[in-house]
Amino acid sequence: MYDPTIFENIKVALENRMYDLDTIEKRIIITNRTDQMDFAILSRRFGIEFMLLDTLALRAEIVLCTSLQDLAGEILEMKGGEPGCSLTLRFFSQVQTEAVPYKEIGQVLYAIWEEEIDVTQTLSSVLGEEPFEFTYTIEADFHTRINEDHMQEIGNFLVHVLRTMEALGRIMEGIQE
């Protein structure tokens, strides 16, 4: 009998909760989802992109990944391994200025997530494109790898994601005015 992997179980639980936030609670709009298997390195990646209904200045993506080592360790029940998944949050916004308040944004992220994350902020543009605008990306990588022991925390995790989006959305709307 087929036994779903940690990745599959967390992906399904996360995806179901996200669609509840979209279709039932009507707090977000899901704009894209990806479910990829990389055959070159035998890894899995699930991503779901969304926006808050009342803050369209910001998009977010939750990314869940697992590696061959994790999948093999789990399926083959290898001793000593602790299979799990990595989790990343990404936030995207289009801005017309290079003067992004990156320190304030970092403070907001660390205030909500404490020391659980590493934050990378990137500003990029396509040269020669008119009108000139930047894509501002904020990436938060979580230190803790997750497994099925974390399933009960998905709801609370999403509450924090939405709080983060609300706070970042206010900042993004402020610099776009």
According to CATH, the topology of domain 6-176 is Yope Regulator; Chain: A, (3.30.1460)
Residue-wise pLDDT tens digits, 4-46: 899 999 999 999 999 999 999 999 999 999 999 999 988 999 9
Q: Which residue has the higher pLDDT, 6 or 99?
A: 6
Listed as own residue / partner, the contacts of 172-175 with beta carbons closer than 8 Å and 24 or more positions apart are 172/55, 172/57, 172/58, 172/93, 172/95, 172/136, 173/55, 173/57, 175/95, 175/97, 175/99, 175/100, 175/101
Q: What is the pTM of this model?
A: 0.92
| Helix (H) or strand (E) run with residue 112 in it | helix 102-113
Percentage with pLDDT > 90 across the chain? 69
The pLDDT value recorded for residue 1 is 43
Q: Where are the domains of the chain?
A: 6-176
The pLDDT value recorded for residue 151 is 93
Residue-wise pLDDT tens digits, 44-81: 999 999 999 988 889 999 999 999 888 888 877 788 77
**Other CB atoms within 10 Å distance of the CB of residue 24:** 8
- Beta strands (DSSP E) in 22-176 are 28-38, 43-52, 55-66, 86-95, 117-124, 134-142
